[in-house]
Amino acid sequence: MTTANTCKQCGADLALARIEGMRGEEAGLSLSIEGMPAYSCVNGHKRFLTSDFPMRLIDSLAKADTPDLPVAQKKGMLKKRYLCPGCGGELASEPGTHATLERSLSLKDSAAFSATLAVPLYHCSACGVAAMRPGDELANALMKAAAQAFQSAGIPPG
């Protein structure tokens, strides 16, 4: 019988730990998380503080998204195009720069930790506006980047 404080993989006692250097990247968006509190056993197995911790983490990152950056308009069904919110011109297909957002997070009364998001910006050659992709695409990329970050740290979901 395993309790909340026993490692599911090896049965050793779990202790609170901080996980450093988690990274993930998807569709030009990169995420790094430093010092995330989690449980760890002597054999290095890791576990989230609670099973909904990863969803809460992604949620609060998504909500913390920058409201003040211009957002591209998506056009087209088969071939997607992204238009400049300033002048309607077509945006570059590759990101030119990134907006770096740093967040300090504390979930479920956990110790605070930090996450850094680099959001790709696509430039308009006509008027110089640099816009982000629409929110649903960013949210999707964020989800995948976070999943990679957790995987890179060897922390199983849930």
- Which stretches of the chain bind Zn ion, using CB under 5 A? 7, 9-10, 12, 41, 43, 45, 84, 86-87, 89, 124, 126-127, 129
Minimum Å distance from CB 121 to Zn ion?
13
Minimum Å distance from CB 131 to Zn ion?
8
Task: Find the radius of gyration of the CA atoms of the chain.
Answer: 19
Nearer to Zn ion, 17 or 62 (CB): 17
Nearer to Zn ion, 89 or 102 (CB): 89
Strand runs labelled E in 43-112 = 46-47, 73-75, 81-83, 97-105
Minimum Å distance from CB 158 to Zn ion?
16
Minimum Å distance from CB 82 to Zn ion?
11
Q: List, as own/partner pairs, every contact residues 94-97 make where C-beta atoms lie below 8 angstroms and the sequence separation is at least 24, other chains included.
A: 94/122, 95/28, 95/120, 95/121, 95/122, 96/121, 96/122, 96/123, 96/130, 97/121, 97/123, 97/130
Nearer to Zn ion, 89 or 96 (CB): 89
| Calpha distance 17→142 (Å, rounded) | 24
Nearer to Zn ion, 115 or 131 (CB): 131
